Structures are given as structure tokens and as C-alpha cells.
Amino acid sequence: MREILGRRRRLRLRRKEGTARLDAALTCATVWQWPVLPGVGTARTAPPGEGGGLGCACPEPDCAVPGAHPLDPGLLAATTDERMVRWWWTDRPAAPLLLATGGRAPCAVSLPAVAGAGALSVLDALGMRLGPVVATPTRWSLLVAPYTLERLGELLYAKDWVPSSLRFHGEGGYLVLPPSRTGTGQVRWERPPARPGASAAGPVLRARTKNAAPAAPWLPDVEAVLDALVEASTGAPGGGSRLAY
């Protein structure tokens, strides 16, 4: 009886998580006009009870980002079309939610999770206004306004030094969004998307109001975020970087 009840609870949880992912995908695509697509998802590396963890469902045995990358469809299929998004997550409710970065969609700057937590504290102390922040067990990503690769190159060239732990998710890239689950664990909002003009702790916009234009979350400029991260990384004991791995 306990086993049956346990199965029922797991089934209800999976259905709830699938509904949450579909709702999040529809909000991104139809309200915020962010192109999305499903990630490849995870697969067990061994049968349950034999100690198998969750690996990537793709054919690559040593996948660097298990579950958190496109496969079929590919990245170029990312869309804001409601019917396509509904079909994807109805057919594959467990699929991670991927944002195709760049173009008119947000870009991101990411750093290791431990360094990310410290950096946010420093940026808050500096009075830096941040947009949404995505947290995974391994990395935190700060969403920023769209930028071109040319502009990013100019910003990096102008710096004497940039922490090597930083990664940039721009045009032609992607980022996994909550409430996804990948091979490294749960993806969540460390700073949830806020209504335009609201504080970073403001409520998440979940639906378009009648007769209102789509309102995407406010995003900071990449230059301001990069400047603040470089400033936050200096002055570590021994002349090192606070944003090191």
C-alpha cells in the first residue's frame, strides 16, 4: 500500500512540475516574447535501486551539460509561437525550458555558483540594480539586455582584466530557465523576473492583462553589469579574484 501511495505522489508531483514548465514556457514565449525550445532532458545512468544518477538523454556519454542543451529540435527552432510551445511541453512535459539568447531576447553573464552568491551580495552593497538571476547548483546567470558580439568584444577589449570564470551567453547561445531540472539538479530563480519599473524582489508577471501590450521584465545593460562584476572581483586577499572558481 505504501508503494502504491508513493507512486501516486510521484505521479502528482510530475504532473504539477509539467504544468509549471508549460506555464513558464508560455509566459516567456507569448507574454515576454522570448524565443524558447525544449531541452534534451535527463535519463538514468542505471536502473532505480542500483545507484544510478541522472545523466543526459543525448547520445554523448560524457555530456558537459547533461539535460540542459537542445537536441531535437535544434536551437534554430526556438519560437514564440503559442501552438508550438504547447505542443512541445504537452508531448514532453519533463523537458527543460531553454531560452535562445540574443537578438531581441535577453543575454546573460554567468559565473560559478559560490562566486555568484558572493558577487550578488557585493553588487547589492554597491547599490547595483539587477534583473532576473537564474541559479543552478553549478552556475548563476545574470540576465542582461540584448547585446551584439561586436559590442561585447569592444567592452572586453577596453578592460585591463576580466575574471576568467565569467561566461557570456549572447547571440546564438542558450540558457536553461526555471523551473527546469537537469543532470546537475534543479534550476530556480535567485532573483525572479519583476514587472517593468518594479524592484528586483517584485512579483513575477504571469499573464498579459486584457488590452495591454506584452511587458517583459526589466533588464540591465551588459556594460553596467560587467563593470560591477569586475569591481566586485578586485581586492580579494592576496590580490586574487573574488569570482574565481
Determine, yes or no, domain membership for 108: yes
Determine, yes or no, domain membership for 245: no
Determine, yes or no, domain membership for 162: yes
For residue range 168-221, what is the model confidence (pLDDT) as tens digits?
999 999 999 999 999 889 999 999 997 554 443 333 444 444 444 457 899 999
Q: Where are the alpha helices (DSSP H) in the chain?
A: 2-26, 82-91, 113-125, 149-157, 222-233
Higher pLDDT, 11 or 84: 84
Domain containing 85: what range?
12-239
**pLDDT band per the 50, 70, 90 thresholds, residue 17:** low
Cell triple for 129: 540594480
3-state DSSP assignment of residue 142: strand
Determine, yes or no, domain membership for 16: yes
Determine, yes or no, domain membership for 3: no
**pLDDT band per the 50, 70, 90 thresholds, residue 231:** confident
Determine, yes or no, domain membership for 179: yes
pLDDT given for residue 205 in this prediction: 40
- Look at 8-17, 76-85, 89-98, 177-186 and tell me which has the smallest mean pLDDT: 8-17
Counting the structural domains of the chain, the total is 1
Q: Is the predicted pLDDT of residue 8 greater than 70, yes or no?
A: no
Determine, yes or no, domain membership for 4: no
Determine, yes or no, domain membership for 52: yes
